[in-house]
């Protein structure tokens, strides 16, 4: 899970500083990987190699919004919904975050590494789509 503190100016002109949370669960990561021909990481690599900027932007937006959620007060759940995604996407916090990630490769890599679970891996080299949990 990644906690990102974002300073932004809201639509009333007020300066705000809020914490936002992003996470991709192991199940979500596996679903993303298996629901894309060749796997998500291979698809992204192909898009980047082809310099397909519209596709890169669309994938990045999808990953940011799919990772966004709210922790339950007891910490047992990370709540995600289309309503929460839409609400976040309509803020200047989202706009500022997206611009930071789109213009700073280090920030983008840090963000992705912060939201993707480190315990799930797939063997893209052999095409093995079975998941392994690394202890």
The predicted pLDDT at position 23 comes to 96
- Report residue 71 as tokens: 């922790």
- Report residue 55 as tokens: 């596709």
The predicted pLDDT at position 119 comes to 59
Q: What is the pLDDT of residues 75-117, one digit of tens each?
A: 999 999 999 999 999 999 999 999 998 888 888 888 988 998 8
**What is the DSSP pairing of strand 15-22 with strand 120-123?**
unpaired
Cβ–Cβ < 8 Å for 14, 20: no
Distance CA 67, CA 64 (A): 5
The predicted pLDDT at position 78 comes to 96
Give the 3-state secondary structure of 55-98. HHHHHHHHHHHHHEEEECCCCCCEECCHHHHHHHHCCHHHHHHH
Q: What is the pLDDT of residues 52-78, one digit of tens each?
A: 778 778 888 988 999 999 999 999 999
The predicted pLDDT at position 133 comes to 35
Q: Is the pLDDT of residue 28 over 60?
A: yes
DSSP conformational letter for 36: S
The predicted pLDDT at position 84 comes to 98
Closest CA to 68 of 96, 33, 32, 94: 94
Distance CA 115, CA 2 (A): 6
The dihedral sign for the CA sequence 30, 35, 38, 40: negative
Q: Is the pLDDT of residue 122 over 70?
A: no
């Amino acid at each position: 899970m990644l906690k990102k503190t974002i300073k932004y100016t809201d639509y009333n002109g007020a300066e705000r500083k809020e914490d936002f949370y992003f996470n991709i669960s192991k199940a979500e990561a596996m679903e993303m990987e298996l629901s894309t021909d060749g796997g998500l990481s291979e698809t992204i690599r192909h898009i980047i190699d082809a310099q397909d900027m519209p596709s890169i932007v669309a994938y990045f937006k999808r990953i940011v919004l799919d990772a966004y959620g709210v922790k339950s007060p007891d910490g047992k759940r990370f709540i995600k919904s289309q309503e929460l995604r839409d609400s976040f996407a309509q803020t200047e916090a989202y706009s500022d975050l997206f611009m930071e990630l789109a213009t700073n490769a280090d920030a983008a890599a840090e963000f992705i590494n912060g939201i993707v679970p480190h315990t799930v891996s797939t063997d893209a080299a052999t095409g093995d789509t079975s998941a392994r949990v690394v202890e």
